[in-house]
Amino acid sequence: MILIRQRRPSDDGALLEVFNGSSFQRGAMTRGPFASKEELALWFQTLATCKLELVAEDSGEVIGFGVLALLDGERIEHGAWVILGVRETHHRRGLATELLETLLAAAKDVYRLRRVYLNVFADNEPAIKLYEKHGFQIEGTHRDFLWRDSGFVDACTMAKIFGANAPDKIDCSSSGQLKHAGGDAGLREV
Ligand SMILES: CC(C)(COP(=O)(O)OP(=O)(O)OC[C@H]1O[C@@H](n2cnc3c(N)ncnc32)[C@H](O)[C@@H]1OP(=O)(O)O)[C@@H](O)C(=O)NCCC(=O)NCCS
């Protein structure tokens, strides 16, 4: 059974394998592999002040993650960005769908955000299809965004706007995890 839950420090060894796997490196990384789980933990820590960090667990094994990182600043706090990754051995089983739907449900119904966006490499067809399927639209292209395999690759910004949600005041704890009256709302077994 797949469980979607919040990330714990003890997940970082398994997450290191997801981040350093070839599909994540090629599909999503703007830097080379992480040297250690401590370096990865620091990366998580510095992503954003307010964030929701989820992992997907299959029979006790962490095989994917998703992050919703809220923007800082009172005129943009209705927005957040997303990043997702699933271990190659578990692709095409609906895990990214479950992670993304959980993040989007939290964005809309718990945190009452209006705009969720992300950057995706223009040749990452699986991810673009996934996001389009969930209502994201391409807003623009960043030309020659990435240097990879001896050539430049474009990237796209994709965004989804939630209808009439009014921006809400977000309460961030000092630990950097999002706090809300909804608590762990959005987390579920699938
Ligand atoms: C993109 C990624 C997250 C998809 O994860 P996944 O768990 O395999 O995706 P799902 O099984 O939930 O697939 C959902 C939808 O995504 C699209 N999709 C996923 N893999 C695809 C592929 N290889 N080719 C075309 N479409 C694909 C399809 O629309 C699919 O729906 P369908 O199965 O009904 O056709 C995964 O390939 C990955 O981790 N890639 C490396 C990291 C990455 O690119 N992250 C995104 C950075 S912005």
The mean per-residue pLDDT over the stretch 49-60 comes to 96
The mean per-residue pLDDT over the stretch 159-185 comes to 56
CB under 8 A, 24+ apart: contacts of 144-147:
145/119, 145/121, 146/30, 146/121
Taking all residues of the chain, what is their mean pLDDT, rounded to a whole number?
Answer: 90
The mean per-residue pLDDT over the stretch 44-52 comes to 95
Q: CB of 126 closer than 6 A to ligand 1?
A: yes
Q: Does residue 190 form part of some domain? A: no
Distance CA 4, CA 98 (A): 8
Q: Does residue 73 form part of some domain? A: yes
Per-residue pLDDT band at 173 (split at 50, 70, 90)? low
Length of the chain equals 190
Ligand 1 probe mutation, 4, 67, 91, 121, most atoms within 8 A of CB = 91
Ligand 1 atom closest to residue 119's alpha carbon, by position in its atom list: 48
Task: Write the CATH number for 104.
Answer: 3.40.630.30
Q: Does residue 21 form part of some domain? A: yes
- The DSSP output letter for 177 is B
Q: Does residue 171 form part of some domain? A: no
Ligand 1 centroid – CA 101 distance (Å) = 13
pTM over 0.75? The answer is yes
Q: CB of 96 closer than 6 A to ligand 1?
A: yes
Are 70 and 170 spatial neighbours (Cβ–Cβ below 8 Å)?
yes
Q: Does residue 170 form part of some domain? A: no
- The DSSP output letter for 107 is I
Q: CB of 130 closer than 6 A to ligand 1?
A: yes
| Alpha helices, H only, the chain | 12-20, 22-28, 37-47, 95-105, 125-133
Q: Does residue 175 form part of some domain? A: no
Q: Does residue 10 form part of some domain? A: yes
Q: Total domain count for the chain?
A: 1
Are 4 and 188 spatial neighbours (Cβ–Cβ below 8 Å)?
yes
Domain residues for the domain of 52 are 2-164
Model confidence at 190: pLDDT above 50: no
92: left (phi over 0), alpha (psi -120 to 50) or beta: left
Cβ-Cβ contacts under 8 Å for 152 (sequence gap 6 or more): 143, 144, 145, 146
- The H or E element spanning position 144 is strand 137-148
Q: For 64-112, how does the pLDDT look when each residue is reduced to its tens digit (9 = 90+)?
A: 999 999 999 999 999 999 999 999 999 999 999 999 999 999 999 999 9
Can you give the pLDDT at residue 53?
98
Q: Does residue 184 form part of some domain? A: no
